[in-house]
Amino acid sequence: MPLISWNDTLSVNIWEFDEHHKKIINLLNGLYDAISAKKGSTIVEPVIVELIDYTRYHFAAEEKLMNKYSFPGVSGHEHEHKELIAKVVDFQEQFKAGKAKIDFSLLNFLKTWLTKHIMGTDKKYSSFLKEKGIR
């Protein structure tokens, strides 16, 4: 059973961003599977790196579109993105230094953050960008 299952309540009704969110969910589910199977850091660490890299790519795409159309909530949205990236990069550094382990508490944090962010913060730009013709 996956950590997160995609469903319509997670849709922001913008195809590109829904596809990005699905990819992030798949990466989190892959991390969940690796941790559940006790695969070890040699498998888990590359998944974390891919998750960070893809999340940065996604955040940049959202921010670019919000800035292009002057979405009024862009600065708060960008701030949430920066905070998450900083937390995950800090965690990654702690992990590499042997001061943290990748476990279910990290996964639960990421799952909660992602679902709240999509269903709260991201949904706020959805209708705004759709009014601008973004599908």
pLDDT tens track for 9-26:
999 999 999 999 999 999
The CATH number that applies at residue 88 is 1.20.120.50
Give me the number of domains the chain comprises.
1
Which pLDDT score is estimated for 5?
96
Residue 73: what residue type? G
Cβ count near 14 (within 10 Å)? 19
18 belongs to a structural domain: no
Where in the sequence is the domain holding 53, given as residue range(s)? 31-126
**Long-range contacts of the stretch 20-26 (C-beta < 8 A, 24+):** 20/54, 20/57, 20/58, 20/61, 21/58, 21/114, 21/118, 21/122, 23/54, 23/58, 24/51, 24/54, 24/55, 24/58, 24/114, 25/114
133 belongs to a structural domain: no
16 belongs to a structural domain: no
Give this prediction's pTM.
0.93
Cβ count near 103 (within 10 Å)? 10
pLDDT tens track for 45-103:
888 889 899 999 999 999 999 999 999 999 999 999 999 999 998 888 888 898 888 88
